[in-house]
Chain A
Amino acid sequence: MAVKRVRFTFPENLIREPIIYLLGQEFRVITNVRMADVDDRTGWVVLELEGEPEEIDRGLAWAQAKGVRVDPVTGDVVEG
């Protein structure tokens, strides 16, 4: 089992979708919301995901394919 921390950013068209619920249903991944700020136009959620590494990766690929932006919680690490 592994734990991964990620930040989801939702575009406006996904604000009403239960993405995090579906992520836990469709994949063997435990989702734990640690921080969030969502309004009617945009939103971000910091999540802890627990599961087998391959399953977490499959779940994240699914979320990205849905249109969620997935980033490391610390922000970008590639600097100028």
Chain B
Amino acid sequence: MTYATSLRCRECHREYPLAALHVCEFCFGPLEVAYDYDAIKRDVTRRRIESGPASLWRYRDFLPCDADAAVDIGAGFTPLIHAKNLGAALGLPKLYLKNDTMNPTWSFKDRVVAVASTRARELGFDRLACASTGNLANSVSAHAAAAGMEAVVFIPHDLEAGKVVGSSIYGPTLVKVRGNYDAVNRLCAELAGAYGWAFVNVNVRPYYSEGSKTLGFEVAEQLGWKAPDHCVVPIASGSLFVKIRKGFDELAKTGLIEAPKTRMSGAQATGCSPVATAWAEGSMNFRPQRPNTIAKSLAIGNPADGYYSLVQLKETGGACAMVTDEEIVAGMKLLAETEGIFAETAGGVTVASLKQLAAQGRIEPGETTVAFITGAGFKTLEAVTDALRPPLEIDATMESFERAYSALRAAEAVA
């Protein structure tokens, strides 16, 4: 069962049935799932949630599908770490990291695809589809395999081999599309309209995006049923950024936590920064950009939730940082060297933005701050390889090791 009642337009509030719809026919506003919060408040307790599975399905009552028939490969309930070393380096003693690299296909996309694939199957679809530069493709391929559904996944023709293998191992129909970013995007939008498939981030997007709320639920539960003071979230489409706050709001609305006063800050790469640029200019109108950054998982030049991200920045008193590719690599290294977490480039964007916001005084040292690390570093090895110290290479003798090791120590002493 589900407490979802309808789809509702975020702009004009018209209601629609819980079908495979994503845009309001009247005003073209995005549709969002509405719930019977009074019933959730009546039925759901902290204890009920705590006794649920160690996955996102512990929050089943806040999701728009029947969890008893879930496509479950173990997404969610990832660790929240008190990042003492990184916090000390940045002057943020109450810094926490939500480590979503620990998901089954190593990114937060497993949350949204778990919900989308479950709902798609309920709606009678037998094919899951998406267009992706990596993480989403991996997750759709894996969930479709587990659900016994076919997967059709469109990827740019020049995608790195590691990302292609990360999808093809699950056996999807993988389609490489020749053309630049805009051309691939346009084709995929047309395909989504032309075929009766469940395109997870298009026609079933209202359900898909609900999966991101579970990050908000988990953080609040892991902090002892309390929303943090400040969140720093990478912004691609903006959906994750908006839905984390929706998670806090829903817990408050149903009496499970006190009303949150969380400041929501965003993180973007300079090479794809439509939201950060508009925020810096004090505008609520973002201009679409052509992405040019190593943070490919955040490279959305025309973000569907860009406007709502700007509204949220303003409403919560947050800020939006943008960081260069060099800062992204430095952020990845800093995270790995202080906390032992190897994140992909999006994690580098988040950590570099955290550093920038802390240095600017936009995050106060006393704030309980949570930064969201959304994908694992093995997906973007090429981004950091050249920036790392090469290994020592020796002959299989003690003498060879001692010579190489002392030379290294001497060089480090000089540096």
Q: Which residues B275-313 have CB closer than 8 A to chain A?
A: 285, 287-288, 296-306
Nearest CB in chain B to that of A73: its residue: B28
Out of B185, B202, B236, which one reaches A80, CB within 8 Å?
Answer: B236
Q: Which residues B10-29 have CB closer than 8 A to chain A?
A: 22-23, 27-28
CA separation between A35 and B27, bound complex, in Å? Answer: 7
Name the residue in A9, A70, A73, A80 with the highest tally of chain B Cβ atoms < 10 Å from its Cβ: A80
Out of A34, A44, A76, which one reaches B304, CB within 8 Å?
Answer: A76
Q: Which residues A1-54 have CB closer than 8 A to chain B?
A: 5, 7, 9, 34-35, 37, 39, 42, 44, 46
Residues B185 and A46 in contact, CB atoms below 8 Å apart: no
Q: Say yes or no: is B199 at the interface (Cβ < 8 Å to chain A).
A: yes
| Residues of A that sit less than 8 Å from B by CB | 5, 7, 9, 34-35, 37, 39, 42, 44, 46, 69-80
CA separation between A71 and B202, bound complex, in Å? Answer: 14
Neighbouring B residues of A69 by C-beta, 8 Å: 288
Out of B154, B189, B299, which one reaches A74, CB within 8 Å?
Answer: B189
Residues A76 and B301 in contact, CB atoms below 8 Å apart: yes
Neighbouring B residues of A35 by C-beta, 8 Å: 27-28
Given contacts A80-B297, A80-B298, contact A5 B135 (CB under 8 A): no
Nearest CB in chain A to that of B345: its residue: A80
Residues B300 and A76 in contact, CB atoms below 8 Å apart: yes
Neighbouring B residues of A78 by C-beta, 8 Å: 131-133, 154, 156, 181, 184-185, 188, 300
Could you show 9 A-B contacts with beta carbons less than 8 Å apart? A74-B202, A75-B305, A76-B300, A76-B302, A77-B131, A78-B154, A78-B156, A80-B136, A80-B375
Neighbouring B residues of A42 by C-beta, 8 Å: 285, 287
> Shortest beta-carbon distance, A48 to chain B, in Å?
9
Q: Which residues B194-234 have CB closer than 8 A to chain A?
A: 199, 201-202, 205
Residues A72 and B185 in contact, CB atoms below 8 Å apart: yes
Q: Say yes or no: is B152 at the interface (Cβ < 8 Å to chain A).
A: no
> Shortest beta-carbon distance, A15 to chain B, in Å?
13
Nearest CB in chain A to that of B186: its residue: A72
Neighbouring A residues of B306 by C-beta, 8 Å: 75
Residues A44 and B300 in contact, CB atoms below 8 Å apart: no
Name the residue in A9, A46, A70, A72 with the highest tally of chain B Cβ atoms < 10 Å from its Cβ: A72
Given contacts A74-B22, A74-B202, A80-B300, contact A9 B189 (CB under 8 A): no
Nearest CB in chain A to that of B135: its residue: A80
Residues B28 and A75 in contact, CB atoms below 8 Å apart: no
Q: Say yes or no: is B86 at the interface (Cβ < 8 Å to chain A).
A: no
Residues A34 and B27 in contact, CB atoms below 8 Å apart: yes
CA separation between A75 and B109, bound complex, in Å? Answer: 18
CA separation between A73 and B190, bound complex, in Å? Answer: 11
Nearest CB in chain A to that of B181: its residue: A78
CA separation between A77 and B199, bound complex, in Å? Answer: 9
Nearest CB in chain B to that of A5: its residue: B28
Q: Which residues B142-196 have CB closer than 8 A to chain A?
A: 154, 156, 181, 184-186, 188-189, 192
